[in-house]
Amino acid sequence: MIKVEGTVKAVREQVKAWKKEGLSVGFVPTMGYLHEGHESLIKRAVKENDRVVVSIFVNPMQFGPTEDLASYPRDLEADKKLCDNAGANLIFHPEPEEMYDGGFCSFVDMNGLTNALCGLSRPVHFRGVCTVVNKLFNIVAPDKAYFGEKDAQQLAVIKRMVKDLNMDIEIVGCPIIREADGLAKSSRNTYLNAEERTAGLILSKSIFLGKKMVEDGERDAAKVKAAMVDLINTEPMANIDYVEIVDVNTMKNIDEIKGEILCAIAVGINGKARLIDNFMMTV
C-alpha cells in the first residue's frame, strides 16, 4: 500500500532521494475525499512523471469563518486506495500544526485575479490557497503540478503566481470530470441528499446552455448570462452567487465574447452546498 507521510522532513528526504536518482516528480495537491476528478489528475501525473506525490490537506487558511472547514468530508483509507490504484507513490498528509506553527505569520497574496468571481464571496480564500500551494511547492519541489479546470479561477491564480514569483514548476490544467448526468464531480456533492443532488444538475445544464449559445455564434455576454440565470432560477432550491463571463487571463468581465474566455458560476443548493462549474473557450 502507498506510503503516507505526515512530516515535511520525511517528504523532503524521499523527494531528494528520487531526484538523486534522476527521477522526475509530479505533484497533485488535494483536500482529500478523492473522486474520479482527482483520479484523472493523478493518472495524468503518473503518465508524465517518474514519481508522483499527492497531498491531502484540508487547509484551514482557505476557509472563511462561516464556511465548511469542520464538516468537510474526510476518508483517508479510501483516499489511500484510490492513490495506490492510480499509481501514485507517496501521500503527504500533514496535521495543521505541521503546516502552521504558533508563530506562523507569512502569506502569499495577489492583487487582481482574486478580486472577482469566488474571491468576492470568499475574501480570504485565495490568500489561503496561494500560501498553502506555495508551501507545498517548497516542500515537494515538483517538476510539474496538476490542477483541475473545475476550479478555473484557482488554476489561473496558480499559473499567475508561478509566473510572477519565478517558480520553476510547470502547471498542468486538466479537464472537468463529470457524472454521467453532467454534474461536475466534487467532494462537496456529498452534502446533498437525492433531491438536492437532482437540483444541483441545474449548474451543468446552465453551463451546457451557455456553451451551446457561444458555439452557435452568440457574442453578447449579457445575453448568454441572462439565459443562464433564467434557467438556474427555474430551480427553486438554487440560489445564485454569481454567473459571469470573464477574460481568463485577467478575470475581468467582458461585454463581447472574444479571446480566451471563462464562463463561471457559483450556486448554492438549498443552503447545504455551494457548487461551482464553468466552461472555458477560445473564440
Amino acid at 213: M
174 interacts with ligand AMP by CB under 6 A: yes
Judged by CB under 6 A, which stretch of 36-44, 79-87, 162-170, 239-247 contacts ligand AMP? 36-44
Pick one of 2, 15, 38, 276: the residue that binds ligand AMP (CB under 6 A). Answer: 38
Specify the residue, 134 or 187, whose C-beta has the smaller distance to ligand AMP.
187
Burial profile 180-216: b = 16 or more Cβ within 10 angstroms, e = fewer = eeebbbbbbbebbeeebbebbebbbbbbeebbebbee
Whole-angstrom distance, CA of residue 207 vs CA of residue 185: 14
Specify the residue, 37 or 210, whose C-beta has the smaller distance to ligand AMP.
37
DSSP state of 177: P
Specify the residue, 116 or 174, whose C-beta has the smaller distance to ligand AMP.
174
Grid coordinates of 19 = 531526484
Encode 14-76 in three state secondary structure: HHHHHHHCCCCEEEEEECCCCCHHHHHHHHHHHHHCCEEEEEECCCHHHCCCCCCCCCCCCCH
CB atoms within 10 A of CB 219: 13
Least distance in Å: CB of 29 to ligand AMP? 6
37 interacts with ligand AMP by CB under 6 A: yes
Specify the residue, 136 or 176, whose C-beta has the smaller distance to ligand AMP.
176
Q: Is 38 a catalytic residue?
A: yes
Residues 192-211 binding ligand AMP (CB under 6 A) are: none
* Residues in contact with ligand AMP, shown as a per-residue x/- string from 117 to 156 under the rule CB under 6 A: ------------------------------xx-xx-----
Amino acid at 93: H
185 interacts with ligand AMP by CB under 6 A: yes
Amino acid at 277: D
Residues 208-267 binding ligand AMP (CB under 6 A) are: none
Give the H or E element holding residue 242. strand 238-247
Specify the residue, 148 or 200, whose C-beta has the smaller distance to ligand AMP.
148
Least distance in Å: CB of 220 to ligand AMP? 29
Least distance in Å: CB of 126 to ligand AMP? 13
Sign of CA dihedral 84, 85, 88, 93: negative
Judged by CB under 6 A, which stretch of 9-17, 37-45, 117-125, 163-171 contacts ligand AMP? 37-45
Encode 99-126 in three state secondary structure: HCCCCCCCCCCCCCCCCCCHHHHCCCHH
List residues binding ligand AMP (CB under 6 A).
30-31, 37-38, 40-41, 147-148, 150-151, 174, 176-177, 184-187
Catalytic machinery residues:
38
